[in-house]
Amino acid sequence: MKLRLRLKGTYYPRRAGPSILPNAETPLSIPTYEGSNQVVHPSVIDFSLEHGIPQWHGYRYWMVLTPFPYSNDSFENPSLFVSNDGIVWTVPPNVKNPLATAPGGMRAGFNSDPDMVYDPDADEVRIYYRFTSKEQMTLRMIRISDVTSAPVDVIKYSPWKEVDNNFRSPCIWRESTDRWHMWGGGRERAPYGIFYRFSRDGISWERPQQCVDDLGGDPFVRSGFTNWHMSCKPDRSEGRAVFLSCAYPLESIGLGVILHAECKNEYPTTLTTPINRPVLLPTESGWDNETLYRCSFTLGPGNDHYNIWYSARSKNGVWKLGRTSGYVRMG
């Protein structure tokens, strides 16, 4: 039986308090290749704010996500969009969505969970995404520059078992030419773990290490939650990586909120949660009134001002994307 419980009611941990930021009043319109305009799992790069480049190939903002009409994973294929204001999105010239396809379903396999990072050495965007089937679990990568490359496998388990599920919703940070970091969710049952990998080139990745809090436990369980799909960005001035996680209350798995976490650069497997209020909650009656899902964000001046693009599902089963912004601070 599927639970449909109000997060602000019995099953939401009351001690967490109200959300820090307001929800988007209306969703953005994203022109998906199959025509539904239903989307999930964004990853956004603001080239001006993050890389000091006013535009890259003619656009300030680049975003990868997947269509997900009424949770149909046969359309959950990585798709690329561009914008100059972060609100109105179009398909970039010379790009045809989707970037990769899969049949859908566990038997034949489906795509999911894209993440995107810019490599200034190669002047290219790398898009990572998962392919999962009964027979294999794979992390694939596509390069975007003047041309779009074919996907290549960077992590592959075939056959795979539960312990191999350790890069769900991968979030990747290129610290430098030879220092690449990846965090991702894991396990098949709650509480879901968080796992870290290191790479010298963003292609060959070391074995995963489980992440814990400063007491050696799960970073979110003490607050009554478990991580599901997270995203990350670097805060170079403070020497830390910042995470926003779609996390589930342990009492109502499947009903997501957005929580904050962070780690020091020198301790990438130790995540702390100094901000104990949810950044975002589902609304009572808006377009995002059932569950929030994976988001992407940028850090503005002072590194406590957040621009957030978040996916969410309504109680009618419709998936959309919203944008909000504001200060996320301790206290």
| Regions in the chain scoring below 70 on pLDDT | 1-17, 331
3-state percent breakdown (helix, strand, coil) of the chain, nearest 5: 10, 45, 50
CA gyration radius, the chain: 18
Q: Which domains does the chain have, with CATH numbers?
A: 14-326 (2.115.10.20)
- For residue 202, the model assigns a pLDDT of 98
Is the preceding peptide bond at 98 cis, omega within 30 degrees of 0? yes
- For residue 17, the model assigns a pLDDT of 62
- For residue 331, the model assigns a pLDDT of 58
- Could you tell me if 165 and 188 are in contact, meaning their C-beta atoms sit under 8 angstroms apart? yes
Nearest to 212 by CA among 191, 193, 190, 198: 193
Q: pTM here?
A: 0.94
Q: Which residues of 87-99 are buried (b: 16+ CB within 10 A; e: fewer)?
A: eebebbeeeebbb
Which tokens hold the place of 317?
């089963």
CA distances from 50 to 63, 171, 242 (A): 14, 16, 14
Number of CB atoms found within 10 A of residue 166's CB = 23
- For residue 9, the model assigns a pLDDT of 41
3-class secondary structure, 223: helix
Q: Determine the distance from the C-alpha atom of residue 22 to the mean position of all C-alpha atoms in its chain, rounded to a whole number.
A: 19
- Could you tell me if 127 and 114 are in contact, meaning their C-beta atoms sit under 8 angstroms apart? yes
